[in-house]
Amino acid sequence: MCILVRNWSWPKVILATWLVSGTMEHSIVMGGHELSHDMFFKTRFYNRLFSLFLNLPVGVAMMATFRRYHLDHHSSQGVPNIDVDLPTRFEANLFQHKLGKFVWALFQPFFYGLRPLIVHPLPMNLYEFVNWLVQLPFDILVVKYLGWKSFFYLIGGLFMGLSIFNPISAHFIAEHYEFVYGQETYSYYGPLNFIVYNVGLHNEHHDFPNVAGSNLWKVKEIAPEWYDMPSYTSWTKVLYQFITGENMNLYCRVMREHA
């Protein structure tokens, strides 16, 4: 599709980016999530190596950096300045009320991507350096031989796929926002799990982060008594309730002083 759109009109390119690339890019990013837990291959080296390849259509070198911060999210969930999944106080104060929450959710890819570099900056490691070393030549080749429309299809798909342009992106909100007082993590048991490696089974994932997404349903089946708690069947509904809910805001997260 990236090759096909190079000769299309811009309206068609934008439509294809929204309908096709956005969903595929989101699935790729969730594949990167699986790789961050070393779920594709038996060795860490091969998982990292494959992540460099999987990262190519994303357009931005992100797999290596995501891995570093995401593992901290698991080991230090809810700890400010370490778990960078937590919105900053600046975000929570600025994006209040319905319009503010809508704008925040719309530009969520930027907040999600830039927040770690501001809140908890880490020096670039070799894995991240190689990630960029592989990604930049690929981007240059796409622009040179396919043109800017094809590159927009990739990079625009990343934004649209992780923004509220795509209802799948609501899982970023559904996972840990405190819709029920005292409950820190929520699972989604709906059909879109098929696209995102079952990341919706989030309680199961946090309980067993070393279990592949393909096996998370088995976790729920083996121990159903541990997962009889509030959950979701619609990410779109979660997004609507978050934006319109008078009692929902970016402060609705469970926080702790230490892991």
- In a shared domain, residues 150 and 181: no
Pick from 223, 221, 215, 183: nearest CA to 198 = 215
Query: Which residues pair with residue 188 across a beta bridge?
Result: 232
Instruction: Tell me, yes or no, whether 129 and 77 share the same domain.
Output: yes
Q: Which of 165, 198, 223 is the last residue of a domain?
A: 165
Residues 151 and 190 in one domain: no
Identify the domain containing residue 226 by its residue range.
Answer: 167-248
My answer on whether 233 and 199 are in the same domain is yes
Q: What is the value of pTM for the model shown? A: 0.94
Neighbouring C-alpha atoms within 13 Å toward the C-beta of 22: 19
The reply to whether 154 and 177 lie within a common domain is: no
Whole-number pLDDT of residue 94: 95
Number of domains observed in the structure of the chain: 2
Per the CB < 8 A criterion, the answer to whether 220 and 212 are in contact is: no
Beta bridge partners, 177, equal 253
CA distances to 29, 99, 218, 242, 253 from 239, rounded to whole Å, are 20, 13, 27, 5, 15
Query: Does a structural domain hold residue 259?
Result: no
Show which of 165, 196, 215 is a domain's final residue.
165
**What local confidence, expressed as pLDDT, does residue 257 receive?**
83
Let me know whether 73 and 151 are in one domain: yes
Amino acid at 191: P
Assess if residue 254 is contained within a domain: no
Q: Report yes or no on 161 lying in a domain.
A: yes
- Tell which of 136, 165, 194 closes a domain: 165
> For each of the chain's 259 residues, which pLDDT tens digit applies?
888 999 999 999 999 999 999 999 999 999 999 999 999 999 999 999 999 999 999 999 999 999 999 999 999 999 999 999 999 999 999 999 999 999 999 999 999 999 999 999 999 999 999 999 999 999 999 999 999 999 999 999 999 999 999 999 999 999 999 999 989 999 999 999 999 999 999 999 999 999 999 999 999 999 999 999 999 999 999 999 999 999 999 999 999 987 6
